Structure formats: structure tokens, C-alpha cells
Amino acid sequence: MAARRAYGAQRRAPYLFLVPAAVLFALFFALPIGYALYLSLRRTEVQGLGLGSGARQEVWAGLSNYTDALSDPQLLDGTLRVGLYGLIVVPTMLGLALLFALLLDADRVAGRRFARLAIFLPYAVPGVIAALLWGFLYLPSVSPLHHALDRFGLPQPDLLDGGPLYVALANIAVWGGTGFNMIVIYTALRAVPAEIYEAARLDGASQVQIALRLKIPIVRPSLVLTFFFSVIATLQVFSEPTTLKPLTNSIPTSWSPLMKVYQDAFGNADVHSAAATAVVIAVVTLVLSFGFLRLVGSGARGGAR
């Protein structure tokens, strides 16, 4: 009998350890998603002037909020802007991360620990703080860079207007995200046995050949992972344009899809439309992520054959 109770306790133990994680998942992940889905299927109906008790009622809306969200030109424009922004951010950030990781992994690199910390340190700066710092460097009236260019009689570009705005926003993301991606790639490089590189050197391979023919193919899974994370972060861009918006008139309230969600919810007091737009963004992100992972997985299986 005692043995049976002990066996039963052992079988229940893993589930008991999972209970705290399951409760946190339900409260802070599943429940907010369910509530957002509920709000997206409702709308507020106003009677008369909308004054007094009972003048505003929440009624069933069906899929009308989703229809409005998918046909909203502001959401489409914001998606196109984020796509152009991502075309600048993702290749630049991953290219620099790979370059820094390869340089730090090379032999006879002086100050490797300091360089690694210096490259990673911007990632520890919160996105809002980073956007404020760079915003003051972009602002012509207070930027020391503009004063220096003016002193030498050089042109002073306005990075907060027109096409350069994409470069300015992308620079903030690249500055903050390169260090994290570099650490991921560098960790993968350090896990490779040194005997592989030594054998390549004995065969007469140079450092460039070792990097191109050995190191980059070996860290390809890490590159895929960082690319995946970078694309998701790009689709969710919010802090940088929102923080720079008071400094320029070139950033509308719906510059990115998440900014439109925020404006609908808190600027227009329409949480139902905001919830529908948020669900659409989440579904699109999920589909793109799943499709990308399937594509990478099928490519890896095809290469293995």
C-alpha cells in the first residue's frame, strides 16, 4: 500500500511542478488573448447624444470589426512602411552581428571581452531610452553632429523627414539589436570543437576561407533563429516611432500597425476596432512565422538527403 502511494505521488509530481507555469500562462497569456477575441466581436452602440446611463451599450458585431480592419488604408500603409523598415533593419543587423561574431572568434583578437561587452551593451538600454538618445542626436536644433557639420560648412541632413526617416529609425533598431544577435551567433561559434579549425589550417585554409566555408555553414541554425526573432521584432515595431513622433511631423499616429492599434484604443476610444486589428496582426505574424519555419525545415531535410 505504501509503495502504491509512493508510486502515485511520483506520477503526480511532474504535474504539480507544472501548475505554477500553467496558472501564469492562463492569467497573463491565454486570458488576455481570449478577452481580445471577445472585444473584437463586439462594438459600442451610441443612442442619442451618448449622454447618461444606458446611452452607450456594447452589442454583438460579428466579423464587422475584422472587415473594417482589413479594408482600412491606414493599416495597409503602416504595413508597407514597416516592410520597408524591415528591409533595412534585418539584413543590416544580422550582417553586422555575423561580422562581429566572426571577428571576435578569430585568433589573436585583442580586447575580446571588452569588445564583446561593448557591442552587447546597447541591447541592455531600453528601447524608449535609446530612441530618446538618438532623437536628440537627430534633432537639428540640439544635435552636436549638426553643429559640427555646420562649423565645417558641410550640409546638414534632416534625418527626421522624408526618406532619411527610415534610416534614422532603422539605425536605432540596429544599434540596439546587433549585440543580442551577435551573442547568439558567437556562442554557436564557440561551441564548435577547435580541432575542426586546426584541421582546416593544416590543409592551408586562410582565416577568410575558414569563415566562409566552415564557420558560416556551421552557425546557419543560429542565423535562422536570429532572422526569425528579428522579423518578429520588426513587425512589432512601436517604441522607436512613437518616441520620435513628438520631434517631427513626418510620423503619423498610424506609422506602424501597432501604433494604429494604440491610437484606436486610447486616442479614438475604440477598443473593439483596436482588438480586431491586434488579432489580425497576431494571426499574420503567426502565419508568417509558421510558414518560415516550415520552409526552413523542408530546406534542411532536403539538404540532408
**Is residue 294, in this structure, part of any structural domain at all?**
no
What is the per-residue pLDDT across 79-135, written as a single tens digit (0 to 9) for each? Answer: 999 999 999 999 999 999 999 999 988 876 777 888 888 999 999 998 899 999 999
Q: Check whether 7 has a pLDDT greater than 70.
A: no
**Is residue 260, in this structure, part of any structural domain at all?**
no
**Cα 75 from Cα 240, distance rounded (Å):** 18
Per-residue pLDDT, 258: 94
Amino acid identity at 181: N
Phi and psi at 155, nearest 5°, equal: -65, 145
Domain that holds residue 101: 83-253
Beta-carbon count within 10 A of 128 CB: 13
> What does the mean pLDDT of the chain come to?
86
Number of domains in the chain: 1
**Is residue 124, in this structure, part of any structural domain at all?**
yes
Q: Check whether 8 has a pLDDT greater than 70.
A: no
Provide CB contacts within 8 A for 119, sequence distance 6+: 100, 178, 179, 182
**Is residue 6, in this structure, part of any structural domain at all?**
no
DSSP-assigned letters across all residues of 176-237: HHHHHHHHHHHHHHHTS-HHHHHHHHHTT--HHHHIIIIIHHHTHHHHHHHHHHHHHHHHT-
DSSP-assigned letters across all residues of 43-106: EEEE-TTS-STTSEEEEE-TTHHHHHHHT-HHHHHHHHHHHHHHHHHHHHHHHHHHHHHHHHHS
Per-residue pLDDT, 96: 96
CA–CA–CA angle 241, 244, 245 (5° rounding): 80
Question: Maximum Cα–Cα distance for the chain, whole Å?
Answer: 91
Beta-carbon count within 10 A of 100 CB: 21
Q: Check whether 305 has a pLDDT greater than 80.
A: no
DSSP count for the chain of H helices, then E strands = 15, 2
Question: Considering the chain, what percentage of its residues have pLDDT values greater than 90?
Answer: 44
Residue 203 confidence class, pLDDT cut points 50, 70, 90: confident
Measured CA distances, 120 to 116, 170, 177, 197, 249 (Å): 6, 17, 8, 26, 32
| Residue 58 · residue 233 · CB < 8 Å | no
What's 173's domain CATH number?
A: 1.10.3720.10
**Is residue 63, in this structure, part of any structural domain at all?**
no
**Is residue 199, in this structure, part of any structural domain at all?**
yes
**Is residue 288, in this structure, part of any structural domain at all?**
no
**Is residue 2, in this structure, part of any structural domain at all?**
no
Task: Locate 23 and state its grid cell.
Answer: 496558472
**Cα 34 from Cα 278, distance rounded (Å):** 12
CA 272 to chain CA centroid, nearest Å: 25
**Cα 112 from Cα 114, distance rounded (Å):** 6
